[in-house]
Amino acid sequence: MIITDLKGKVIAANDSFVFYTGLRKNSLIGGKLKKYFADSVEVDALFEIIRQQQKVYHCVLSLNTKLQKQKNVYVDAYYFSLPQALEQAVLIKLFPQSLKTSAAFVEYLDYNSIIAELNRTIKTAKKNTQNFIVAIINLDRFNYINLRAKENLGQNLLHQVEQRLQGLIQYPNLINKIGGDEYLMILHNVSSRKEINSLCSNILKAIAKGYNLDNEKYFLTASMGISKYPEIASSGENLMRYASLALKKAKDHGGACFQTVEPNSINLNIENDLYNALKQEELFLVYQPIIFLKSKHIFKLEALIRWKTSKGIIKYPDEFIPDFERFKLMDALGKYVIEKSISTLHTLQQKHNYRGMLSINFSASQLSMPLIRFLVKKLDQYKINHEHIWIEFTESWFIKMSHANEKILQTLKNLNLKQCIDDFGVKYSSLNYLNRISVDAIKIDKSFVQGLPNDPRSVAIVSGILTIGKMLNMHIIAEGIENAEQLTYLIKNDCFAGQGYFLSYPLNMDELIKFLQSTPSRS
């Protein structure tokens, strides 16, 4: 079901409409209905009839959708006018979960949808000479609790947090989930510093109250980053950027507080350098072969990004990725890596008889449906078999296993894209979640491989991971192989594949072509 006003502006849409059309609820609300139909002229004519006749009017329309396998959906539509005096009462009756007296709560928004929502809010605020604030809330200790808690307890805890937030924030303010334990609020009619301080303090106090789950009491705190329109920023991107920086500032102060940042306190040179890196093509990819350890054939190539600055300095990912994340440029960076690496794979397959696979690294902030759709678009454009692509992500993303993350994992499986956990065992006790997920491979971090074969602790850890891999039918890949002794140990203990300087350095395109001439590949 979808409801509009008499001008065709969407007021509400239920979950069934969203499911069957593939459209996003947050992009529907406030937009014109006619842009979603195949014949917008017909829709205009319908609304004119409704305005004149003021009675129920029935028709069947073809609705364009974003579903890949279905070109359109036929909508059996009943149109009628709704008196303004009854509008809110009817909406509350039909959509009680989203339009009661609490804020409109959206389960999950990706970055692009967030920016679109903010820009729509800015347009309305500018028209009505209003201000509003953007608040990003992150739960301080949720991952620690989730890692040690019983199954599903973490989700129940989040549900209670969300209920408290909804109880505090009244419609038409918005609360959107933007991560496993992170929320975005758009708050209207809060202008003075005193009002902002009071509201933020109340939110943090409400979150900090105890939670009763499975006969135990748990305690959480939260950090908040605040930006304000138009005082601090006047675009969706900058509002998010300053709110994110303010959130980091709150975390740096130990959490359990809220912070703001002033625009003149930020080093804009860093941001300009990042934009120039993308626009001036200062970024480039190298490819490190991952080898079948027993046959010595190439299993796959891992795409690795580098940055050659305007001063000619080569920077490695750990030197610049945090800044790309800080300034919310990871989507743009991800699209660059996807475009370049898929194009390279196509060239290697067509001109150099490459039969192996390609591995692309995704950060936690990049694992979103828009970027996955972009990847699929490029695979289809270059006619690349989906099964030749591996997606690598760190185990920290799995620790934040939310409902949205589970949907992303399932989508990857449905698309026949392989999945690999990178840097396994470095930061977390990972065995707790391996029962809850199903991936194709895990990588043994190089810090464990470096101690082979003489360090008893490294031997015990690597041996344990290899055993777990066999039991769970996962491929095990060893990182950081730097000498013959490490390689011999891994082969002897049936490690599936490996990479490292002893096997091959990361290679540019010319070096890679020469390597392929001497080393066969197979999938």
Confidence check: pLDDT of 425 > 50: yes
Task: Give residue 89's pLDDT.
Answer: 44
Cα–Cα distance list, 435 to 151, 469, 471, 502 (Å): 11, 12, 11, 33
417-423 mean pLDDT: 88
With a cut of 60, say whether residue 271 has pLDDT above it.
Answer: yes
- Write the CATH number of the domain with boundaries 104-266: 3.30.70.270
Overall average pLDDT of the 116-121 stretch: 88
pLDDT bucket at 77, cuts 50 / 70 / 90: very low
pLDDT at 160 > cutoff 70: yes
Residue 85 has pLDDT above 60, yes or no: no
Residue 421 binned pLDDT confidence (cut-offs 50, 70, 90): confident
Q: Which residue has the higher pLDDT, 168 or 183?
A: 183
CATH superfamily, domain at 2-95: PAS domain (3.30.450.20)
58: pLDDT strictly greater than 70: no
Residue 196, pLDDT > 60, answer yes
Specify the DSSP class assigned to residue 365: G
CA distance 388 to 392: 13
Q: Is-contact 321 364, C-beta < 8 A?
A: no
Distance CA 351, CA 166 (A): 57
pLDDT of 70 higher than 80: no
pLDDT at 108: 67
Q: Domain spanning 286-518 has what CATH number?
A: 3.20.20.450
Which regions of 80-221 does DSSP assign to beta strands (E)? 104-106, 132-139, 174-179, 182-188, 211-213, 216-218
Between 514 and 48, the more confident residue is: 514
Q: What are 104's strand-pairing partners?
A: 174
Higher pLDDT, 269 or 272: 272
Which is it for the CA torsion 378, 381, 386, 390, positive or negative? negative
**Most confidently modeled range among 96-100, 145-149, 158-162, 348-352:** 348-352
Least confident span in 104-108, 146-150, 290-294, 309-313: 104-108
DSSP structure class, residue 103: P
pLDDT at 308 over 80: yes
Q: How far apart are CA 168 and CA 389, in angstroms?
A: 45
Domain ranges of the chain: 2-95, 104-266, 286-518
Average pLDDT over residues 413-418: 92
> 455 or 43: whose pLDDT is higher?
455
In angstroms, rounded to a whole number, what is the distance separating the alpha carbons of residues 192 and 133? 11
What sections of 281-420 are H helices per DSSP? Answer: 317-326, 330-351, 369-381, 395-399, 403-414
Closest-CA residue to 452 (of 463, 442, 441): 463
Confidence of residue 46 (pLDDT cuts 50, 70, 90): low
| Residue 151 pLDDT > 80 | no
More confident residue, 307 or 267: 307
Mean pLDDT of 412-427: 83
Q: What is the model's pLDDT at position 344?
A: 97
Measured CA to CA, the distance from residue 237 to residue 20 in angstroms comes to: 30
Share the mean pLDDT of the chain. Answer: 79
In the chain, the percentage of residues whose pLDDT exceeds 70 is 72
Distance CA 91, CA 1 (A): 11
The helix/strand/coil state of 223 is: strand
Report residue 63's pLDDT band, with 50, 70 and 90 as the boundaries: low
Confidence bin at 311 (pLDDT 50/70/90): confident
442-to-301, 409, 476, 495, 513 alpha-carbon distances in Å: 16, 15, 5, 11, 27
Angle, CA 317 vertex, CA 410 and CA 444 arms, to 5°: 55
Mean pLDDT of 282-304: 95
| Residue scoring higher pLDDT (172 or 369) | 369
Going by DSSP bridges, is the β-strand pair 283-292/298-308 parallel, antiparallel, or unpaired? antiparallel
Residue 122 CA neighbour count, 13 Å, CB half: 20
Average pLDDT on 459-478 reads: 89
Cα 239 to Cα 246: distance, rounded to the nearest angstrom:
11
Kindly state the average pLDDT of the residues 225-250: 88
Q: Is 354 buried (19+), middle (13-18) or exposed (0-12) by CB count in 10 A?
A: buried
* 8 A C-beta contact, residue 287 and residue 506: yes
Residue whose C-alpha is closest to residue 261's, from 249, 252, 271, 270 = 249
Count of H-run helices and E-run strands, the chain: 21, 21
pTM metric for this prediction? 0.54
In the chain, what is the greatest distance between 2 CA atoms, to the nearest angstrom? 86
User: CA-to-CA distance for 125 and 453, rounded, in angstroms?
Assistant: 64
> Which residues, in sequence order, are CB contacts of 86 under 8 Å at separation 6+?
none
Lowest mean pLDDT: which of 104-108, 128-132, 167-171, 518-522? Answer: 104-108
